[in-house]
Amino acid sequence: MLANILKVAGLVSNNSTENSVAVLDVGFGCGDQTVALAELILAPSRSQFRYVGVTLNETQRQAAQQRLDATLLAADKRDVENTSIKLFQADAAKPESWDKAITTAVDNLSDKAFSERWLLGLDCLYHFSPSRKPIFKHASQKIDANVMAFDLILGDNPSLWQTLAVRLLGFVLLCPWQTFLTEAQYRDQLVECGYDRGDIEIRDISDHVFAGLAGFLQRQDAALKPYGISLTGYSAVGRVYDWFDRTRVLKGVIVVGRKKSKSQ
Ligand SMILES: C[S@@+](CC[C@H](N)C(=O)[O-])C[C@H]1O[C@@H](n2cnc3c(N)ncnc32)[C@H](O)[C@@H]1O
């Protein structure tokens, strides 16, 4: 998923990047994407990289930190971490709540030494409360960053009950009530936050997301059943993915939004 987002954003070709890139990565989970990005940066072709990660969950932050430390240690690159990669626990949806250390680290991403500055939100922005707007505005206005994300949006022409079912699902997942937007509403929101309407790409990749996830969860459940282990919660999630796949009431999309170039 990360590799595909980076490709759509035009940041990698042949698994390497030559640009100097600054990334604000929100909701980085247990750090799979942090480590993958660090490995990409450590590639010999890299010129310059700075990464600030912000996640809500302290346990996940610690897990990510440990994995990152191990990766950099194995590559004999611990110095890179001190200067270029910082992980924080905070609410990325509320930039006004950040303490000085986070604010300074994020501000430093705006350094014009980086030819590209990006906000990355991989499978997390639909959780953001009150909405995605504060982090989009912060990225656009404070660090002049483009946006790349994997996100969920409402399908085309959902029935009233489908929309209601999706909103209820969001409620159960502790997402804001109005978190799922249509593609048009999503574009409007990006434009309102400072992104160029003519330079927004929303690519539907549902075919490669929901059925695979549903199948994976079913296979895990079946494999563990003989041992008396039940993944009831995950099976329910699998059925929801299966429903998404059949109805496309929600679509899984890669979003890339760019700032207007200063000369425009
Ligand atoms: C579905 S997980 C995805 C994790 C990771 N990006 C990945 O793809 O493996 C969503 C993540 O978003 C984080 N998250 C949710 N709301 C957040 C917020 N307001 N600020 C920062 N992180 C948040 C959660 O802690 C969780 O790690």
The model's pLDDT over 192-250, given as tens digits with 9 standing for 90+, comes to 999 999 999 999 999 999 999 889 988 988 888 888 887 777 788 888 889 999 999 99
Of all residues in the chain, what percent are helix, strand and coil, respectively (each to 5)?
Answer: 50, 20, 30
Tokens 């927004």 correspond to 200
Q: How far is the CA of 92 from the centre of ligand 1 (A)?
A: 9
Fold of the CATH domain 2-207+249-259: Rossmann fold (3.40.50)
Q: How far is the CA of 53 from the centre of ligand 1 (A)?
A: 11
Whether residue 134 has pLDDT greater than 90 = yes
Q: Cβ-count burial of 178 within 10 angstroms (0-12 exposed, 13-18 middle, 19+ buried)?
A: exposed
Amino acid at 164: L
Crossing angle of helices 133-142 and 183-192, in 10° steps, is: 40
Angle among Cα 205, 21, 93 to the nearest 5 degrees reads 60
Q: Which of 25, 56, 237 to mutate to test the pocket of ligand 1 (most atoms within 8 A of CB)?
A: 56
Task: Quickly state the pLDDT bin for 41 (edges 50, 70, 90).
Answer: low
β-sheet bridge partners, residue 203: 254
The pLDDT value given to residue 89: 98
Q: How far is CA 254 from CA 38, 101, 164, 174, 223, in A?
A: 21, 30, 24, 22, 32
Mean pLDDT for the stretch of residues 245-258: 95
Report the atom number in ligand 1 closest to the C-alpha of 121.
6
Q: For the chain, what are the domain ranges? A: 2-207+249-259
Q: How far is CA 172 from CA 13, 95, 131, 159, in A?
A: 39, 25, 16, 20
The pLDDT value given to residue 12: 80
